[in-house]
Copies of this chain bind each other. A is one copy, B any other.
Amino acid sequence: MSKALVVFSGGQDSTTCLFWALKNFDEVETLCFDYGQRHRIELDAARSIAEKAGMQFTLLNLDLLKQITHNSLTDQAMDVEENKPDNRPPNTLVEGRNMLFLTFAAIFAKGKDIPNLVTGVGQADFSGYPDCRDEFVRSLNQTLNLSMDYNFTIHTPLMWKSKQEIWALSDELGVFDLVRTQTVTCYNGIKGAGCGHCPACQLRKNGLKSYLKQKA
């Protein structure tokens, strides 16, 4: 029987991944992180989505990440940049975040003999986050296997998809409405359509617009 653990945040991408995993594995559970993110309301959305889907939901406290990094997602005194800077990553970058999420997920998964890890990172709508790139994920997969002498497979079903294609996938999976109304993508923590102007909302909104246009 195939088992998978989804790194889950309650956002559009990881929710789509969750339903992708439910279709592709026999047993699926979710792992969430509270790292002091300004949009912590996403954790309530995550719990509610996981519970409605009848899945195990585990929330880990990773407050330590907030203590050692400086960025606008965990530091409330810093504003989220609305435009992508040219010569450096946006100030929403949380250094090492995906590496830590996936490492904790791997440790947690090995203890339950779950070899498949699923994450919603992708590089098609590249936001300047080095830890969303395929090259990074493949290198991490190898390092995790060496670290714990175990054969993990990290699945990234969204790696090469645009936001438009991610909306299409959620529709294919029969969860378009759920994703549209129940997830939190917005950095300002507003469910569904969000604030509409933060970088995360802009990406989501433009993708949705393109998808609806294509579908019409």
Q: A residues within 8 Å of B by Cβ?
A: 60-62, 64-65, 67-70, 89, 95-96, 98-100, 103-104, 106-108, 110-111, 130-131, 133, 135-136, 139-140, 142-144, 146-149
Interface pairs (17), CB distance under 8 Å:
A64-B64, A68-B107, A69-B107, A89-B149, A95-B110, A95-B111, A98-B147, A99-B144, A100-B100, A100-B104, A130-B146, A130-B149, A136-B146, A139-B142, A140-B143, A140-B146, A140-B147
Specify how many copies of this chain sit in the oligomer.
2
Cα-based distance from A117 to B108 in the complex (angstroms): 26
Does more than half of chain A's interface fall in helix, strand or loop, or is it mixed?
helix
Are B136's CB and A69's CB within 8 A?
Answer: no
Closest to A100 in B: B103
Q: Known: A140-B147, A143-B136. Contact between A69 and B111, CB under 8 A?
A: yes
Cα-based distance from A171 to B62 in the complex (angstroms): 40
